[in-house]
Amino acid sequence: MRTLSLFIFLFFNNTCKETTSVYICNSPYAKKYHNNSKCRGLGNCTYKVISIDIEKAKKDGKVLCGWEK
């Protein structure tokens, strides 16, 4: 039973990680994602700021914004 509990714990832990949302500037040139929608890195975005899944942002080749490291 102990092993099963650990498995369930890990399963839910992973599920949580995958649903983490980040903010990006919806521009074809944006290469960064942001944890905070009020981040100064998004301040000069002339496109719409949208919320997407962090895994999708990484797959698109985006990296965490320099202001938030």
Quote the CA–CA distance of 43 and 38 in Å, as a whole number: 8
Say whether residue 22 binds Zn ion (CB under 5 A).
Answer: no
- The least CB distance from residue 46 to Zn ion, in Å, is 16
**Are 32 and 24 in contact, with CB atoms under 8 Å apart?**
yes
Strands 21-25 and 49-53, how do they pair? antiparallel
Q: Tell whether residue 34 is a contact of Zn ion (CB under 5 A).
A: yes
Of the listed pieces 4-12, 14-22, 33-41, 49-57, which binds Zn ion according to CB under 5 A?
33-41
Note the residues at the interface with Zn ion (CB under 5 A).
34, 39, 41, 65, 67-68
